[in-house]
Amino acid sequence: MNALERLRRNYRAAFLRYLPNRDEAALDAGYQIGRSAVVDGLTILDLVQVHHDVLREVLGTGSPEELDGLTATAGDFLVEVLATYEMTRRGYLAKS
């Protein structure tokens, strides 16, 4: 299994765990996924594409009434996943 496949598997599992309860453990798993993606050399575009794919899958199974809450929750999760990239960017800019 390559890094992108591992990202898809782990992202999907953590995202699905976060959706119903929005608990800190699942959110922390999202943060760890972002850290692993950086270490594995994956791009921010890889992460956003995986997020989009997983979100589309989930939206296909939900009801229209759940749409607003689901997309807001998905956004919160994505921000946590991308936090490592933001910290890396800030560190890079501080050195420049």
pTM for the model: 0.88
Domain interval for residue 88: 3-95
Number of domains in the chain: 1
Percentage of the chain with pLDDT > 90? 72
Give the pLDDT confidence of 20-33 residue by residue, as tens digits: 989 999 999 999 99
Task: Assign residue 57 the CATH number of its domain.
Answer: 1.10.1240
Nearest one of 28, 11, 1, 20 to 66, comparing CA atoms:
20
